[in-house]
Structures are given as C-alpha cells and as structure tokens.
A = this chain, B = another copy of it.
Amino acid sequence: MTFDAVAIGDRIAALHRAAPLVQCLTNAVVMNFTANVLLAAGAAPAMVDIPGEAGPFARVASAVLINLGTPRSEQRSAMLEAVAAATEAQRPWVLDPVAVGSLPVRTALAARLLEFHPTCIRGNPSEVMALAGAGVGGRGVDSVATPDVARAAAQQLALHHHAVVAVSGPVDLITDGTTDIRIGNGSPLLTKVTGGGCALGALTAAFLGCERHTALHAVAAATAAYTIAAEMAAEGVAGSGSFAVRLLDALGTLDGDSVRRRLALA
C-alpha cells in the first residue's frame, strides 16, 4: 500500500464515518484541549480514567490513549487497568511518555506500561531516546534533541516493542523500525500551545481506532492531518491564543483536498 495524500484523505473520511470512541487517560493540563481536538476531527472522546471504570471502558473503546503528563496515583492504577483490558480485547493504544527519563514516578510507570506493547509510542526526541535507553530527557517537558538525532532510538524502540514510533519535531518521523515516513508539515506555534503535542497522541489513537491494519500508515495519517491543520491555522494568525482556536476550526474543515495541496513528505 502506498502512503500518499489520497490515502490520508481516505483515512480522514473514514474517521468521520466511524466516529471512533477514544478513551483518554491523559494529563490534567491538556484534557480540555485534547477532547476538543478529537471532537473537531470527528472522533468521540471519553476521559474515563478511574480504577473500576477504566478497564471495562477500554474493552468497548475504539482506542486508548495513555499520556503520562500528570500521573497521579489513582490515574496510574487506572492506566494499568486500561492497557491490560485493551490488550486483552485487542484494542489499539498509544503511549505518550511525557517527560519520561528525567522524572522517576512516570519513568517507572512507563516501563510497566511498555510490557503491554503499545500500538504506537508518540513523543519528542528526548522522550523517545529516554525510553530506548539512549539518553535522558532535557528539561522534562520540552525537547532538546531533534527527530533525526532520535532516529536510531526510534527504530530500535519500534523493533523491540513491535510498535510504531512517532517522533515530533519540525520534521515528524514515523517508523515501524524498518520503514520510515517523514512529514515536514506543521507550525512552530504548535510548541506555543500547551498540549500541542499531547492532542496529536489522542488523534493518533483515533486514526488507529478506525482500522487495525497498517498501523504505520494510520499513525502517519494522523500526524499529517494534524500538522496540515496546524499549518492552515497559522496563516496570518495574531498569536498563540488565536492559533489554538483556529487549529480546532481547521481540523473541522480538513479534507482530502487540503491534504493534497499541502502534504510535504520529507
């Protein structure tokens, strides 16, 4: 199967038809924006993240997102419950290892979560390198390295865990360990909106929730859709506040035409 603008457009249309139910166990800072990104893109978010509910819900969700940004004790339990259930019910799930490497509680949690084999790991270069054991994150939540620097770590991580690994940056890298896809769309303003990366993790789960095959292409399509919408939102914008609003607007109007005009495979 080829990965091109037509294939991405088809996946965007499929997502609108399926309206996948995406369970998010994510950090407290970005819950609202994440849910609004999913709604704008045509998915159905559900932030079910307490023990006793997270597991049962993961069995019926289309996909699950685990984001380690603010992993409180109760949420950590719910995360383990959710990924165990998702694994058993063969639901795809995405791990976003925010600030892993430099902070001890989430680093230990990430190690346990990895045993359940995420369908996709999405992070910045520092986080991906930390997960792969190739280094530790810079200042915790932002990244000092570039996607290319993290390439070897991403490939190694993908092969070791049979996962698709997506590394964010000016050029996004998506790899299953043998095939790389590089996407050059996006806007620096994404780094000026909190949850700019986290929301992509949720959207990635939404795309994975529409199909179980060719996870590499589903992850790449999510990345392309999101970063192209960001590009549209950034044009002539007054600042980061307006950009976040327009990103939601753009996700709602994004279609195959926009992708064909703008896709920048790198």
Contact = CB atoms under 8 A, between A and B. Distances in A.
Nearest to A35: B194
Contact of A52 (B48, B53, B56, B105): B105
A48 B52 CA distance: 25
Contact of A104 (B52, B240, B249): B52
Nearest to A245: B241
Contact of A241 (B105, B140, B249): B249
A49 B70 CA distance: 7
B99 A48 contact: yes
Contact of A245 (B29, B47, B69, B242): B242
Contact of A246 (B27, B53, B241, B248): B241
A253 interface: yes
Interface stretch (A4-12, A71-79, A167-175): A71-79
B142 A44 contact: yes
A35 B29 CA distance: 8
A44 B31 CA distance: 19
A32 B35 contact: no
Given A50-B72, A192-B252, A194-B32, A40 B241 contact: yes
A89 interface: no
Contact of A29 (B32, B44, B195): B32
A16 to B, nearest CB: 12
Nearest to A52: B105
Nearest to A78: B72
Contacts of A56: 103-104
A195 B32 contact: yes
B239 A249 contact: yes
B248 A45 contact: no
Contacts of A48: 70, 99, 103, 140
A250 interface: yes
A56 B103 CA distance: 8
A245 to B, nearest CB: 4
A140 B36 contact: no
A18 interface: no
23 contacts: A21-B140, A28-B28, A29-B35, A32-B32, A32-B195, A39-B192, A40-B192, A44-B141, A45-B141, A45-B194, A46-B99, A46-B141, A47-B70, A50-B105, A53-B104, A56-B103, A60-B140, A72-B74, A238-B246, A238-B253, A239-B253, A242-B245, A244-B245
Given A40-B192, A239-B251, A242-B249, 4 more contacts: A29-B47, A44-B142, A53-B104, A73-B74
